[in-house]
Amino acid sequence: MSDPVGPAPLPFVQLFTDGACSGNPGPGGWAYILKHPASGKVVEASGGESGSTNNRMELQAVISGLEALKRTSEVEIVTDSEYVARGCQEWLPGWKRNGWKRREGKRLKPLKNEEHWRKLDELLAKHRVRFTVVRGHSGHPENERCDELAVAAAELFS
């Protein structure tokens, strides 16, 4: 007999992310804040690498935040990266169709950060995700905190 109420709702979390790079390429840092509004639990994390780019760090922040989730969730990803939001929402299906290549005019070119996009695609499939794009450095508290953490992480590699 089926459940008349339907499946249990997914837990809702907010994932705030940011990436930073000193030079592009250069020492990079990423950070995320995960918030579970129902319980009030908040988790922050950051990391980095010596030779990176800003876009790569923006992607790594989202990947690391999604990897931290223990179960399938409804996730609002709040980012200041149009590259990440548009890539996930608009460009990813075409890249996959084209063998992980991007169209440049009539030609297909290698996709930058392909390994990150593949990992992100795998993680996005596990959750119900929506994106909210905020303006960077505009006083958004979680975005500002992620920026602080990402910049501090990048400095460890300079």
Q: How far apart are CA 123 and CA 148, in angstroms?
A: 25
State the catalytic residue, choosing from 23, 94, 122, 137: 137
Q: How far apart are CA 117 and CA 122, in angstroms?
A: 9
State the catalytic residue, choosing from 18, 29, 87, 142: 18
| 142 closest CA partner among 68, 42, 60 | 42
CB contact at 8 A, 128 and 13: no
Looking at the DSSP bridge assignments, the partners of residue 35 are: 14, 42
Neighbours of 25 (CB within 10 A): 13
- List, in order, residues 6 or more apart from 110 with CB less than 8 Å away: 101, 102
State the catalytic residue, choosing from 19, 29, 65, 87: 19
137 is catalytic: yes
State the catalytic residue, choosing from 48, 80, 116, 142: 80
State the catalytic residue, choosing from 47, 116, 142, 147: 147
CB contact at 8 A, 32 and 6: no
58 is catalytic: yes
State the catalytic residue, choosing from 58, 65, 116, 142: 58
Active site residue ranges = 18-19, 58, 80, 137, 147
